[in-house]
Chains A and B, each alone.
Chain A
Amino acid sequence: MSKKPAVIAKSKPAPKSVAKPKEQPKPAVKEKAPAAPALPETVVVGQPHRHDSAALHVRGAAAYIDDLREPEGLLHVAPGYAREGARGTILSIDLSEVEKAPGVVRVLTAKDIPGQNDCSPSIGGDPILADGEIIFHGQVIFAVVAKTRDQARRAARLGKIRISARKPVVTADDAVIRSSDDVLPEYTFTRGDVADVIAKSGSMLVDSFLIGGQEHFYLEGQIALALPDDNGGMLVHSSTQHPTETQHNVARMLGVPDGNITAECRRMGGGFGGKESQASQWACLAALASHHTGQPAKCRLDRDDDMIMTGKRHDFRVTTETAYDSTGRITGVNVEFLSRCGCSADLSQGVNDRTMFHADNAYYYPALRIHSRRLRTDTVSNTAFRGFGGPQGVLFAERLMEIIAFKSGKDPLDIRKRNLYGKNRDITPYGQVVTGNLLPEVIAQLEESADYRARREAIAAFNAENRIFKKGISLTPVKFGISFTLTHMNQAGALVNVYADGSVQINHGGTEMGQGLYTKVAQVVAEVFGISLELVRITATTTGKVPNTSPTAASSGADLNGMAAKRAAEQVKDNISNVVCRDWKVPKSSLVFKDGQIISGERSMSFGDACKRTTQARLPISATGFYATPEITWDRVKATGRPFLYYAYGAACSEVTIDTMTGEMRVDRADILHDAGKSLNPAIDIGQIEGGYIQGMGWLTTEELVYDGEGRLRTHAPSTYKIPCASDTPADFRVALFESQGNIEDTIFRSKAVGEPPVMLATSVWTAIFSTIAGLGQGAIPALDAPATPEAIMHAIKSVRA
């Protein structure tokens, strides 16, 4: 086990210019937030334990689904689609060549589906196999089942499909003009008479820009392996963030009760939201093949197919009119989010709601109208992606701050501070009161540790001296609401099995996709029992052990499953305590579970012996635990309530250099201070923060999804779609956890969720670019869209120099 917490991760020793944050400046605005009660010291929780599979990862011994020993008679499934056409009627499907191809056992089409031909997570509209029409380019029309993967893939190319294709609706702008219906109804938050505020305002701005989507690029592509069981049962190994939904979708497709199907996932090679709803289709196809052949079947997508056939982060057109006063404080915001949802609803309601929930980011909008349209396009259905719509809302708010600062000639950081939530300005656009706002303190600390003001001056001097290279720096905050906004999803179950020798197996509804959830939950259980982490064995998530689970999403994994596991463990602990206390005739309050021992005064017993005693006393040492997040309410119709249990906070300061002749850009330095409450595992949390920042940076810089006029994705492989690589990580990268007393809410050991919020720290990269470009002109607002590719940067530079 590692010894001391690595709370700070640095790529470089701090150079002289950086002040050590030894004495933290007091926040200017003190919130009424009550401090969390002091917690007893923890032993396992709070330590930087390694990822439970780290030693397996590095040996290549961590088994992903494609690594599982292949059962006898395994068949392979490959999807087939029409090479031409995005939207239209299927005129004919000629699969004769496919059927004749070597190794082909069976070819499946929509008519082979015994139950419901849909794998939607919401209101339908996601056929497993296209039936009669296609609604996007790349939609699966048939599936080849063959003896080898290679045979299946080769045969899948031989289908001859004729489509009566119409000109597809591809972009959000297109959809506004040409789509006859949206995938979901529009939705609005309002407060005050914003039109009036804007009309009467002395200073206002009108702005519009585009936000691009993002491909998940999980390194392990979509995959499922279906194993037939007797009596109509089936076990489906699926790389899914949502085993319960996979189970349900497979059952619904086969027309059998959910109870016939078990879905299991030990680990994913990355998910990022891309396997929340859209892992189901591949599980369904594997299950369908298995159903028809009686043999095990595996469906593993080729990378290009994966990128073509699965949805991405939503892209947007954002348009606003915003009024502000002479001090740069916003008085009214009217914003419209036009979201490109693709061909179906999928998770677009939650995603776009969250865009609205985060359109304020950290700022108070006195009067407002936040309007959202969920547009239908003839493209793959956009889906969950880390941040779940939040990043787009945050980018809007931060662009707003930049523009106000630029127009009023002030430092953008001062404009941000001016607009923060604070006393008497603490009600969000959806009625939740912001409590425990850490941002004044987080920003103040980061401003100092990143040496923001001095560097801003140095950059101004640099820019005055350099004609071609220009630099910029930006410090942006993040406030991210934690809880599923669909309130009923905020629940979790866990199963803790203790064995008579004191070893432990834990299981819960959360899935492991690299975020370290399994490690954190194991730490929680080890903490409760006072035993070493090694004694806690983590087992694969399966609907057979913990049923009716929510997806591992919304950053909620540790909050929900950690709490459920804690409750389960506490029940077992209670039984053990009862037996020991009876034997020893001591009060329960005297018992301590520590270092693998149970201690009361002078007496002690090993945890294993106590477990044995408990079974001999005929009490169970296995228990289920259940947790439902308290206190949250959300009335979507009235758009009011408390959708979030709490907020996670953070801030980042990024410095960039731009080549104004080519648009090339480099991130020189990043400083991050992020609030993970009382961290369950600082090493894992730092990993989430760094990784989230770089992933967000990719979204806003190099990652460009390009569709052609025919609705075909042209960037469907890593050769054309560029996620950040090692050299893109800033050479000077300083990441620290914000030290606090912990979450003011009673979360698992007062920690905070940390999966998604760090993505939005990367907003500072984009705003740094924006402000650099703004500085090149004579007052024009840069026409900078996201992502800020070299070409987008050049376009923006010209827009201000023109």
Chain B
Amino acid sequence: MSADAIRFLRRGEVITYRVSNPMQTVLDYLRLEERSRGTKEGCNEGDCGACTVALGRLVDGRVVYEPANACILLMGHLHGRELVTVDDLAQGDRLHPVQQAMVDEHGSQCGFCTPGFVMSLWTLHHAGRKPDRQAIVDQLAGNLCRCTGYRPIIAAAEKSCTGEASDAWATLSREIGVQLAMLDDETDILCGRPDSFVALPAKADTLLDLYSRNPDATIVAGATDVGLWITKQLRSLPKIIHTGRVKALHAVSERTATISIGAAVTYAEAEKLLGSISVDIAEVLRRIGSKQVRTSGTVGGNIANGSPIGDMPPILIALGARINLRKLADQRIIELEDYFLDYGKQDRLAGELLWRIDIPKLNSNERFFAHKISKRFDQDISSVMAAFKFIMAGRTIGGARLAFGGMAATPRRARETEAALIGLKIDAPETWDQAIATLAKDFTPLSDMRASSHYRMETAQALLRKALEELVYGHEVRLVGPPRKEAWA
């Protein structure tokens, strides 16, 4: 049994919508079709947040609202969700508390970014806890304002996001939950024709079958990358298959030695579990994209696209992650590092899907460090991303897995340096230099708009030195992020 339209909740009503253009974005739907013009287009690539809308979904029976960039959100993403936009918040002349706080704090100047800020704050208003300053600026990292300097917006957040939601959505939460629950079914959805369609399979078998029959289709998880193929590269993507409804791909599980996450698990969903491996992972996750990007984007997508500058692959490679790939009934498991063959080339067969990522946890004799370097701390793509796992033998390094992003055409290990580290006495810092210098044998990084080859190499070496310092001294050697862990004892 399958349906030929998506269904989503909008202003209290279930909208049944037959997607005719597979590439249609939610922003275009709002502005051109619904003619709701409160939501703005600033950059059309998910970086400025002017188009921020809120998506409501059920999590453990509770309605949760998350911000998303409508400009790179596809219509398929709306299925089963409630779509809330800036046009909806005020009740007649009465402004919503976050809107009122923005007005009272002089939080708008030109006003063009303001609807996006309002929606980000609105989701924070519904977050169920009072945010501290760090939580506020994290929430706002994906919203750029060129006028105010942010101080009054942060003040508006402090004033209006108290942990207690006080609006119609809070009052109607139960009803909304019931409506959303009704949309959450196991029916596969296919809108369109054989040569041009949007598919939202709910069943794993349907997904595998559909993709094997349409290996030319574009697989979409969060579309934080694919969205740009549409809005920036103006590619034609006539066949789009969304993975987001397949429950198996959303599975997150923890065993004694391994954490497994499905390919469609978002950064936001993975945050807690992956962050439990190391504070450094939690910190990198905090800095990946923005709230909007992390609630849509997936760890699996970051892998599947094979970006040389993705932040998660180096971390996962250093941890020794493996991935599970499926094509119909066939499945294989490979080391993640072997998946990245060359720039833009991955070890994935036609019709084969990334299914699951298995991540070994740290043993008691292992220490892990990750460090991201970018021009701007938040919501920037790294110039160098480093992840290190040291396997300790007392106060000697018994083994190491060092993985880097931004240093080569793919996320890659520094095998020569790893070898050079074996046997290193961590209490003899004078012996580190040679091992650190070995990185120059492992990599010949490129120069581009983010950094020069020279800076990349120098910084990669500095990050390795920093990790060793942290290992030995345990003191604070980062400018941003949570306090570091203890020294290796």
Q: Say which residue of A469, A661, A691, A702 sits within 8 Å of B375 (CB atoms).
A: A702
Q: Most chain-A CB neighbours within 10 Å: which of B95, B149, B451?
A: B149
Q: Most chain-B CB neighbours within 10 Å: which of A268, A695, A729?
A: A729
Interface membership of A448, Cβ < 8 A: no
Instruction: Give the Cβ gap from B161 to chain A, nearest Cβ, in Å.
Output: 14
Interface membership of B145, Cβ < 8 A: yes
Give every chain B residue within 8 A of A657 (Cβ-Cβ): 479
Interface membership of B410, Cβ < 8 A: no
Q: Say which residue of B85, B149, B452 sits within 8 Å of A729 (CB atoms).
A: B149
Give every chain A residue within 8 A of B213 (Cβ-Cβ): none
Stretch at the interface among B32-40, B171-179, B257-265: B32-40
In the complex, are the beta carbons of B376 and A724 less than 8 A apart?
Answer: yes
Interface membership of A503, Cβ < 8 A: no
Q: Say which residue of B115, B137, B148, B150 sits within 8 Å of A60 (CB atoms).
A: B115
In the complex, are the beta carbons of B147 and A726 less than 8 A apart?
Answer: no
Q: Of residues 116 to 172 in A, which have CB atoms within 8 Å of B's CB atoms?
A: 150, 153-154, 157
In the complex, are the beta carbons of B47 and A690 less than 8 A apart?
Answer: no
Give every chain A residue within 8 A of B383 (Cβ-Cβ): 790-791
Chain B proximity mask over A190-211: 1 for CB below 8 Å, otherwise 0? 0000000000000000000000
Q: Say which residue of A153, A469, A725, A729 sits within 8 Å of B234 (CB atoms).
A: A153
In the complex, are the beta carbons of A722 and B380 less than 8 A apart?
Answer: yes
Q: Say which residue of A63, A303, A468, A687 sits within 8 Å of B37 (CB atoms).
A: A63
In the complex, what distance in Å separates the CA atom of A515 from the CA atom of B110? 7
In the complex, are the beta carbons of B477 and A468 less than 8 A apart?
Answer: yes
Also in contact, A270 and B114, with CB within 8 A (given A57-B108, A58-B103, A790-B373)? no
Q: Say which residue of A60, A683, A717 sits within 8 Å of B106 (CB atoms).
A: A683
In the complex, are the beta carbons of A725 and B141 less than 8 A apart?
Answer: yes
In the complex, what distance in Å separates the CA atom of A755 from the CA atom of B313? 45
User: Which single residue of chain A is at the shortest CB-CB distance from B465?
Assistant: A661
Interface membership of B50, Cβ < 8 A: yes
Q: Most chain-A CB neighbours within 10 Å: which of B103, B108, B111, B118?
A: B111
Q: Say which residue of A56, A704, A724 sits within 8 Å of B111 (CB atoms).
A: A56
Give every chain B residue within 8 A of A498 (Cβ-Cβ): none
Interface membership of B214, Cβ < 8 A: no
Stretch at the interface among B11-19, B269-277, B454-462: B454-462
Q: Say which residue of A66, A304, A690, A726 sits within 8 Å of B140 (CB atoms).
A: A726
Interface membership of B352, Cβ < 8 A: no
Give every chain B residue within 8 A of A303 (Cβ-Cβ): 42-45, 48
Number of interface residues of B (CB under 8 A): 85
Chain A proximity mask over B75-115: 1 for CB below 8 Å, otherwise 0? 00000000001110110000100111011101111111111
In the complex, are the beta carbons of B43 and A717 less than 8 A apart?
Answer: yes
Give every chain B residue within 8 A of A687 (Cβ-Cβ): 106, 109, 147-148, 152
Instruction: Give the Cβ gap from B75 to chain A, nearest Cβ, in Å.
Output: 15
In the complex, are the beta carbons of A693 and B149 less than 8 A apart?
Answer: yes
Instruction: Give the Cβ gap from B382 to chain A, nearest Cβ, in Å.
Output: 11
User: Which single residue of chain B is at the shortest CB-CB distance from A664?
Assistant: B479
Stretch at the interface among A24-32, A214-222, A530-538: A214-222
In the complex, what distance in Å separates the CA atom of A63 from the CA atom of B377? 33
Q: Of residues 478 to 502 in A, which have CB atoms within 8 Å of B's CB atoms?
A: none
Give every chain B residue within 8 A of A272 (Cβ-Cβ): 146
Give every chain A residue within 8 A of B387 (Cβ-Cβ): none
Interface of B: prevailing SS:
loop
In the complex, are the beta carbons of A157 and B234 less than 8 A apart?
Answer: yes
Interface membership of B144, Cβ < 8 A: yes
Q: Of residues 441 to 489 in B, which have CB atoms within 8 Å of A's CB atoms?
A: 448-452, 455, 458-459, 462-463, 465-466, 477-480
User: Which single residue of chain B is at the shortest CB-CB distance from A468?
Assistant: B477
Q: Of residues 16 to 36 in B, which have CB atoms within 8 Å of A's CB atoms?
A: 28, 31, 36
In the complex, are the beta carbons of A217 and B110 less than 8 A apart?
Answer: no
Stretch at the interface among A46-54, A585-593, A601-609, A637-645: A46-54
In the complex, are the beta carbons of A219 and B479 less than 8 A apart?
Answer: no
Q: Say which residue of A661, A718, A727 sits within 8 Å of B141 (CB atoms).
A: A727
In the complex, are the beta carbons of B109 and A268 less than 8 A apart?
Answer: no
Chain B proximity mask over A67-91: 1 for CB below 8 Å, otherwise 0? 1000000000000000000000000
In the complex, are the beta carbons of A691 and B43 less than 8 A apart?
Answer: no
In the complex, what distance in Å separates the CA atom of A321 from the CA atom of B481? 43
Also in contact, A219 and B152, with CB within 8 A (given A58-B103, A59-B90)? no
In the complex, are the beta carbons of A270 and B455 less than 8 A apart?
Answer: no
Q: Of residues 38 to 73 in B, which have CB atoms within 8 Å of A's CB atoms?
A: 38-45, 47-48, 50
Interface membership of A327, Cβ < 8 A: no
Interface membership of A789, Cβ < 8 A: yes
In the complex, are the beta carbons of B109 and A515 less than 8 A apart?
Answer: yes
Instruction: Give the Cβ gap from B286 to chain A, nearest Cβ, in Å.
Output: 10
User: Which single residue of chain B is at the shortest CB-CB distance from A148?
Assistant: B32
Also in contact, A62 and B111, with CB within 8 A (given A303-B43, A662-B463)? yes
In the complex, what distance in Å separates the CA atom of A704 from the CA atom of B50? 22
In the complex, what distance in Å separates the CA atom of A11 from the CA atom of B479? 21
In the complex, are the beta carbons of B48 and A718 less than 8 A apart?
Answer: yes
In the complex, what distance in Å separates the CA atom of A790 from the CA atom of B478? 14
User: Which single residue of chain A is at the shortest CB-CB distance from B456?
Assistant: A791
In the complex, what distance in Å separates the CA atom of A733 from the CA atom of B153? 13
User: Which single residue of chain A is at the shortest CB-CB distance from B112?
Assistant: A269
In the complex, are the beta carbons of B144 and A50 less than 8 A apart?
Answer: no
Interface membership of A659, Cβ < 8 A: yes
In the complex, are the beta carbons of A67 and B146 less than 8 A apart?
Answer: no
Instruction: Give the Cβ gap from B12 to chain A, nearest Cβ, in Å.
Output: 19
Give 14 CB contacts A-B under 8 Å.
Answer: A51-B109, A54-B103, A57-B111, A58-B100, A61-B87, A217-B144, A217-B146, A219-B110, A514-B111, A516-B109, A659-B479, A704-B375, A726-B136, A726-B143
Binding site for B on A (CB under 8 A): 2, 9, 11, 48, 50-51, 53-64, 66-67, 150, 153-154, 157, 216-221, 267-272, 302-304, 468-469, 513-516, 657, 659, 661-666, 683-684, 686-687, 690-695, 702, 704, 706, 714-715, 717-720, 722-729, 731, 733, 735, 789-791, 794-795
> Which 8 A-B pairs have CB atoms at the shortest separation, nearest pair first?
A60-B38, A514-B110, A269-B112, A57-B111, A694-B149, A514-B109, A718-B47, A60-B86
Binding site for A on B (CB under 8 A): 28, 31, 36-45, 47-48, 50, 85-87, 89-90, 95, 98-100, 102-104, 106-115, 118, 133, 136-138, 140-141, 143-155, 232, 234, 373-381, 383, 448-452, 455, 458-459, 462-463, 465-466, 477-480
